[in-house]
Amino acid sequence: MKILVTGCNGQVGRSLTRLLAQRDAMVVIAADRDTLDITDNSAVAAFILANVPDIIINAAAYTAVDKAEDEVELAFAINSDGPKLIALAAQQIGATLLHISTDYVFAGDKQGLYQESDSPAPQSVYGESKLAGERAVMQSCDKHIIMRTAWVFSEHGNNFVKTMLRLAKTHDSLSIVGDQFGGPTYAGDIASALLTIVDAVAAQEPIEYGVYHYSGLPHVSWYEFADAIFDIAVNESLISNKPKLTPIPTQEYPTPAKRPANSMLDTAKITQHFGIEASDWKQVLNTNIHAYKG
């Protein structure tokens, strides 16, 4: 089984390549932006046709949500054009494509959990570009799984957990948005979920292709997430004092891109079809919070 991972240096990509390296029966092709420009039609076709992977996991993405409001062309090139080129090449060689997407494809104004069947209505350029990428994958590759996730964090890259721990060293008090809700999701758990699907494909099990939601539980606000991070960090002696936290409404923390107020994803479908349970982010942080101190 030969697997191509694009975006191998991102949060999910790093976790994927680490886990795949432990699989003796799998040949891993790890590609970063220097190895493969996914926006280059001829480069994508040549690379995939030369390597002929059985499964492609597209973890490459433009994720600078606010900068995307100004860098529209670049965001669409990476998040929409790139997935389309990968999907077309995957279709040509009969490969299965696993593509990572986002909660930002939704408006965020629903009451309750977002299901895969809910109508997308992105409110930002980033969300629009990711939705365009989903649609390109659906139209271009028959054997596709689109995994929407949310609030990704890991030991690598920039993310909320690392930001909070850094701020705790220099701030006695912090104001955190308290009216946006979602499920924090550990990148390592996303990688594990993707590998469960890889195993199902490799075993030639019946696969229901399409869109799946995967994120963490319990659902919380950013304020509640920060509160939990600091409680764990103090308990594990990573920080000496917990900053005083104040919840604020979104309008008091304006950003160029509009964030969904509700990013809570229903993960029942992926559990039903693949036996994949939601990520337990509290357990992850309790186990490895020291890995975020850098």
pLDDT for position 157:
87
Q: Sketch out the chain's domains with CATH numbers.
A: 2-158+184-218+259-280 (3.40.50.720)
Tokens of 84: 């389309």
Model confidence pLDDT, tens digit, residues 46-78 = 999 999 999 999 999 999 999 999 999 999 999
Q: Is 294's pLDDT higher than 70?
A: no
Closest C-alpha to 56, from 24, 88, 33: 88
64: alpha, beta or left? (left if phi > 0; alpha if psi -120 to 50): beta
Residue 203, C-beta contacts closer than 8 angstroms, at least 6 positions apart: none
- Calculate what percentage of the chain has a pLDDT beyond 90: 95
Residue 89, pLDDT > 80, answer yes
Q: How does 51-70 read in b/e, with b if 16+ C-beta sit within 10 Å?
A: bebbbbbbbbbbbebeebbe
Has 186 been annotated as catalytic? no
User: How many residues does the structure list for the chain?
Assistant: 294
Q: Which of 104, 126, 212, 292 is catalytic?
A: 126
Pairs from 284-290 (Cβ < 8 Å, separation ≥ 24): 284/186, 284/188, 284/189, 285/161, 285/228, 285/229, 285/232, 286/232, 286/236, 288/155, 289/229, 289/232, 289/233, 289/236, 289/238, 290/236, 290/238
Nearest CA to 213 out of 260, 261, 263 is that of 263
Query: What pLDDT, on the 0 to 100 scale, is given for residue 24?
Result: 85
Q: Does 254 sit behind a cis peptide bond, omega within 30 degrees of 0 on the bond before it?
A: no
Q: Which residues of 174-205 are buried (b: 16+ CB within 10 A; e: fewer)?
A: bebbbebbbbbbbbbbbbebbbebbebbbeee
Answer whether residue 291 shows pLDDT above 80. yes
* Residue 210 near residue 116, CB atoms below 8 Å: yes
Give, for 81, the enclosing helix (H) or strand (E).
Answer: none
Angle between helix 11-20 and 187-202 (nearest 10): 50
So what's the pLDDT on residue 208?
Answer: 96
Asked if the model's pLDDT at residue 288 lies above 60, the reply is: yes
Angle at 19 between CA 52 and CA 81, to 5 degrees: 45
Query: Which sign, positive or negative, has the C-alpha torsion 122, 124, 127, 129?
Result: positive
When the pLDDT of each residue in the chain is averaged and rounded to a whole number, the result is 96
Beta pairing class for 220-221 and 181-182: antiparallel
